[in-house]
């Protein structure tokens, strides 16, 4: 069965990279772009969720898919694995980055190492991934980048004072 028979839509010869693609908004975007016939490359920290979603999207929509496990809070990113995945796929034309991380210890008193990890996860890593993809995007007829990081965990907030407390 061809992709047109499976989905009623032709396969596109483009890839959409989704950072944070295994859950929430990223997962919804992955399904939407796969339904439109895009090949999808997914980045998230949970390899099991990624592999299952990539296989599901390929089966349901007849598209190419790849999964790259990457911890956005780590100081070193697995850009080599991302590059290998992208090399095997149609040209990259879209990068969506609705990813972000929070910390249960979010507060003014959080450790500086926690704060630094949250900054990497919400800003620095996304910039590095986008920068890594720029040559591929500029080679595309029309490259698109949408970056919508979570900022909840990146700025320490004071803990609420309980009623009657100090």
- Position of tokens 């090949």? 39
Burial, 92: exposed, middle or buried (Cβ in 10 Å; 0-12, 13-18, 19+)?
buried
pLDDT tens sequence for the chain (166 residues): 344 444 556 678 999 999 988 888 999 999 999 999 999 999 998 899 999 999 999 999 999 999 999 998 888 898 999 999 999 999 999 999 887 666 565 555 667 777 788 888 878 888 899 999 999 999 888 888 887 655 554 444 444 445 555 5
Q: What is the pTM of this model?
A: 0.80
Q: What is the pLDDT of residue 12?
A: 81
CA–CA–CA angle 87, 32, 74 (5° rounding): 55
* Beta-ladder partners of 40: 16, 65
Give CA separation, 143 vs 1, 92, 123, in Å: 30, 8, 21
pLDDT tens by residue, 78-89 = 899 999 999 999
| Domains of the chain by start residue, with CATH | 3-103+143-147 (3.40.50.720)
Q: What is the pLDDT of residue 9?
A: 60
Q: What is the pLDDT of residue 4?
A: 47
């Amino acid at each position: 069965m061809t992709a047109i028979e499976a989905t009623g839509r032709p396969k596109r010869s483009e890839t959409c990279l989704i950072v944070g693609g295994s859950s929430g908004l990223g997962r919804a975007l992955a399904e939407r772009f796969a339904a439109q016939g895009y090949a999808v490359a997914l980045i998230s920290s949970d390899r099991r969720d990624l592999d299952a979603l990539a296989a599901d999207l390929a089966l349901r929509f007849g598209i190419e898919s790849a999964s790259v496990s990457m911890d956005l809070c780590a100081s070193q990113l697995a850009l080599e694995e991302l590059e290998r995945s992208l090399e095997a796929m149609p040209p990259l034309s879209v990068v969506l980055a609705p990813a972000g991380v929070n910390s249960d210890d979010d507060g003014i008193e959080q450790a500086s190492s926690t704060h630094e990890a949250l900054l990497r996860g919400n800003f620095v890593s996304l910039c590095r991934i986008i920068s890594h993809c720029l040559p591929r995007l500029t080679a595309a007829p029309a490259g698109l980048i949408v970056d919508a990081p979570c900022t909840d965990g990146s700025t320490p907030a004071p803990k609420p004072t309980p009623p009657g407390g100090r």
